[in-house]
Amino acid sequence: MSVDRRHFLKAVGSSLAVPLAASLPVAVRAQAPVEIVIWQWIPKFSDQVDLFNKSQSRIRVVTAPVTNSADQSLKLRNALAAHSGGPDIAMLEYAHLPALNTVNAFLDITQDVADVRGQFVPSAISQCTVNGKTLGLPLDVAPMIQMYRADILGDWGINAPTTWDEFAAAAEKVRTKSSNQYLTNMFLTSAGWTTGMIWQRGARGFEIDGDKISINLNGAPSKSFSDYWQRLIDAKLVSTEPDSTADFFQALDTGRYLQVMAGCWFPNYARTNANKSFGKWRVAKMPHLSAQNTLSTAFGGSMFGVFSGTKHPKESLEVIRYMMSNRAPTELYVREQFLTPSTRKLISDPGIREIEQPMCGNQKVNEVNFAAIGEMTVPYRFSPFEDYVQQVMNDELPQAAKGARTLSKAFDRIQDRVVAYAKDQGFTVRA
């Protein structure tokens, strides 16, 4: 679902001023802790909440789970439009931040976090910044990696491919070994996957200057991606079924798919659906364009920001600083929730690097993840209407996989639809 930018801005207008005055008498306020509500989707986040609540008595954090970042984005917009019902703090995928910035969903905390900004790796903190304003602190980094069946591929003499040329050769070899198995299944119903792929091939996202925007979704990087994967599709060397469905996870578990490219969060995400294959997977960095061109990109990654509708901005900021930069909660994210940390201290910590992932046969997966973070040297700029961009990509690319059109033609249609939408939202589109 998309929200019309112009009408939304009119509806919200100047009503986003933070109401700082409390209604209770001072004596009563002094006795009761301030309640801070966080909307998030982290498993076992109650552990971090308990840590904070036990660390002091002035603030009490409570948490309200949401489904995912797209669901979060819609709910935050609804809360802004209704002038009520929102959280104090919200978790959000980096990709959706520029869009929510157009409706002033998060407070500018640039000056308030200047002293801790340097604690985070550039590929994380840069994603929390829009138009020079820091709007949150990073939770994790999600470099794209490959998760592969080391047992089956090893028996067939296939190593984890390090380049896309090696990947194509491995995909062909798998099909010669078994007509019922594929090296991989493309995530064409997940726009974040496609974005990570074209990003590696040179896409840099959207250039925005006020109401002027440059859109190039069918440029050379998208055509390069299309040409490569279209050859594999036409030769029936890869699968193109919808991802993250029950059938998809069953195919992973039974060995129909022997490798997936995803964010580094994927092994822990998939482990609840792994029975026969649990412990048989391993991870490696995503294939590179060449031995010389080693750019890695991301699929996911999230931040926490202070919601502009909060009545408690000072307390909310204190909570975020604790949750994102304090050693105790941030180490829990890595050890219990298997997120990849965003702070320099944890990434350089040998103990964190050696954490074992049971889904991957107790492989020390952070050795791979941290190496990939080091290769995330070029950022991608997401659009101020990313929800719509992702919706269109998820509409058009699966149709190409079904043979309705080529991937290249699908990107042409994506470009046309997004340009038309941007103009309708009041942007001047530049070629």
- Domains delineated in the chain: 5-141+299-369 (3.40.190.10), 144-298+380-430 (3.40.190.10)
pTM above threshold 0.85: yes
For 161-176, the pLDDT digits (tens) are 999 999 999 999 999 9
pLDDT bucket at 6, cuts 50 / 70 / 90:
very low
Neighbours of 199 (CB within 10 A): 23
Residues 6+ apart with CB under 8 A from 246: none
User: Angle 386-401/69-82 helices, nearest 10 degrees?
Assistant: 140
pLDDT at 26: 53
User: For the chain, what percent of residues have pLDDT higher than 90?
Assistant: 89
Task: Read off the pLDDT of residues 356-395 as tens digits, 9 standing for 90 and up.
Answer: 999 999 999 999 999 999 999 999 999 999 999 999 999 9
End-to-end Cα, the chain, rounded Å: 27
Checking if the pLDDT of 31 tops 80, the result is no
The answer on pLDDT for 190 being more than 90 is: yes
- For the chain, the average pLDDT equals 92
The 3-state DSSP class for residue 365 equals coil
Q: Give the per-residue pLDDT at 19.
A: 40
Q: Which residue has better confidence, 285 or 74?
A: 285
Tokens at residue 388, please?
A: 């719509």
Which of 185, 191, 163, 225 lies closest to 300, judged by CA?
191
Token pair 């925007």 in the structure block, residue: 213
In this predicted structure, the answer to whether residue 12 has a pLDDT above a threshold of 60 is no
Would you state the pLDDT for residue 375? 97
pLDDT confidence tier of residue 30, bands split at 50, 70 and 90: low
Reply yes or no on whether the pLDDT at 13 is more than 80: no
Handedness of CA 417, 423, 424, 426 (dihedral sign): positive
